[in-house]
């Protein structure tokens, strides 16, 4: 039984984080999204994987190679130009006859995966509060009747969870699938054709986490960190305080005066401290430097970034190779305490969060004492000058002096 994971998408709604990496490689507790699915699938008994890659496929291939590190075997199929989920799944025809499909950017639980594995021709369902954003599934007893497109007035709260168990029958229907109004070949259309002839069982999942916008990554990061087991490989100096589940990578130094409240994960080759305060639900990638008088909480800091002197970062995501100048601070709460709105790709979105700092891409540099306002989005290679204020959506390569 093979496990096909769809990992080809760009994740446009994850900009600017996905300008340089595919969505499935976004880190949660320092491991890519895709790896968490790999763990859970492996725990469910699956050992042979096919990753359907596309956007920035080299990042996926470079990290996972052929799966030796996880004791699984991984093969790759390149989708090339993105043409939809049916197109992606159709490409594995020559490689798999009975297989489970997982959407690479959704987090599934191992028990749910096991259940789907054990039932031929089935698909995962989940109940949500806001079904308007998803395709609603109509079932008759346990069988799938029809998968609907997004509707303003959804007829049920059961949605398509993005996990399937197909046999080679699906390929006949994929070949017949026409382009959707979006211009893509959608697997939901193939399924709607197949259910008329062959029944597909619907199985309601217990665990399901969809990651659509950057701040969802913060939520997912928190979930994953809650279950993390403590593991210390680095060096911890005297006069440091570490409470709760804190993982520290190899060659990482925690210098005196550091105060770390878990759950927190810190990668390899980091220099932490002296005198810094790292609060719960923070992930710090490899090669980072968190310096003196810095406070970080509920944030994701990706590899090789520096928060080196007198900074505050809360409820934020910081990409790779960033450098915050001394004194740079991130605001994460509005003075009127209302929900924070964000402008992403030119659209205004209510994050429904009271606290949100900033979402920063790669290689961003800030000058000393610069100010980053709530809900700001800063694109790759941007420059925020000394004393400057960063507001709203700032495109890549912008200089705010």
Q: Which residues bind another protein (CB under 8 A)?
A: 53, 57-58, 61, 75-78, 80-81, 94-95, 179-183, 343, 346-348, 385, 388, 391-401
Closest CB 94 distance from another protein, rounded Å: 5
Which residue in the list 62, 66, 146, 309 is annotated as catalytic? 309
Residue 330: both structure tokens together: 């991130």
Instruction: Provide long-range contacts, Cβ within 8 A and 24+ apart, for 260-263.
Output: 262/230, 263/225, 263/226, 263/228
SS3 content of the chain, % helix, strand, coil (to 5): 20, 35, 45
Other beta carbons within 10 angstroms of residue 253's beta carbon come to 16
Closest CB 195 distance from another protein, rounded Å: 22
Smaller CB separation from another protein, 45 or 392: 392
Residue 146 CB partners (closer than 8 Å, separation 6+): 137, 138, 192, 195
**Distances in whole angstroms, Cα of residue 366 to Cα of each of 40, 293, 294, 325, 370:** 39, 17, 15, 5, 6
Q: Please give the helix or strand (H or E) that residue 218 lies within, else none.
A: helix 214-226
Angle at 262 between CA 229 and CA 290, to 5 degrees: 115
Beta strands at 122-127 and 264-266: parallel, antiparallel or unpaired: unpaired
Closest CB 395 distance from another protein, rounded Å: 4
63 dihedral zone (left: phi>0; alpha: psi -120 to 50; beta) = alpha
Smaller CB separation from another protein, 292 or 391: 391
Smaller CB separation from another protein, 20 or 111: 20
Smaller CB separation from another protein, 57 or 121: 57
Residue 247: both structure tokens together: 């993982």
Q: Active-site residue 309, yes or no? A: yes
Closest CB 377 distance from another protein, rounded Å: 9
Closest CB 59 distance from another protein, rounded Å: 10
Nearest to 211 by CA among 36, 392, 83: 36
Smaller CB separation from another protein, 179 or 354: 179
Smaller CB separation from another protein, 193 or 343: 343
Q: How crowded is the C-beta side of 239, counted as CA atoms within 13 Å? A: 7
Closest CB 208 distance from another protein, rounded Å: 25
Tell me the catalytic residues: 309
């Amino acid at each position: 039984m093979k496990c096909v994971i769809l990992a080809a998408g760009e994740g446009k709604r994850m900009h600017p984080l996905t300008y340089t990496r595919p969505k499935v490689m976004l880190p949660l507790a320092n491991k890519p999204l895709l790896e968490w699915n790999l763990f859970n699938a492996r725990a469910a008994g699956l050992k042979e994987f096919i990753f359907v890659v596309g956007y920035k496929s080299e990042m996926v291939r470079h990290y996972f190679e052929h799966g030796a590190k996880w004791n699984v075997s991984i093969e790759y199929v390149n989708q090339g130009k993105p043409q939809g989920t049916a197109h992606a799944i159709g490409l594995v025809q020559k490689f798999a006859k009975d297989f489970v499909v997982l959407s690479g950017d959704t987090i599934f639980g191992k028990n749910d995966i096991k259940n789907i594995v054990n039932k031929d021709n089935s698909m995962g369902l989940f109940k949500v509060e806001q079904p308007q954003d998803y395709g609603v599934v109509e079932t008759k007893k346990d069988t799938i009747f029809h998968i609907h497109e997004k509707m303003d007035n959804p007829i049920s709260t059961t949605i398509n969870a993005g996990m399937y168990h197909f046999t080679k029958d699906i390929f006949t229907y994929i070949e017949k699938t026409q382009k959707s109004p979006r211009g893509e070949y959608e697997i939901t259309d193939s399924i709607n054709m197949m259910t008329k002839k062959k029944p597909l069982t619907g199985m309601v999942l217990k665990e399901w986490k969809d990651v659509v916008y950057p701040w969802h990554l913060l939520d997912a990061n928190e979930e994953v960190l809650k279950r993390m087991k403590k593991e210390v490989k680095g060096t911890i100096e005297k006069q440091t305080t570490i409470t709760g589940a804190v993982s520290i990578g190899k060659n990482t130094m925690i210098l005196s005066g550091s105060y770390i409240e878990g759950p927190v994960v810190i990668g390899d080759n980091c220099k932490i401290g002296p005198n810094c305060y790292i609060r719960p639900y923070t992930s710090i990638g490899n090669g980072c430097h968190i310096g003196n008088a810095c406070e970080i909480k509920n944030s994701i800091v990706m590899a090789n970034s520096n928060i080196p002197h007198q900074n505050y970062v809360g409820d934020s995501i910081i990409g790779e190779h960033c450098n915050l100048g001394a004194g740079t601070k991130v605001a994460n709460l509005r003075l009127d305490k209302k929900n924070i709105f964000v402008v992403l790709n030119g659209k205004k979105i209510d994050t429904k969060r009271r606290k949100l700092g900033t979402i920063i891409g790669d290689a961003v540099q800030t000058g000393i004492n610069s100010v980053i306002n709530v809900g700001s989005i800063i694109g790759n290679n941007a420059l925020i000058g000394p004393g400057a204020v960063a507001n709203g959506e700032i495109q890549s390569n912008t200089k705010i002096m």
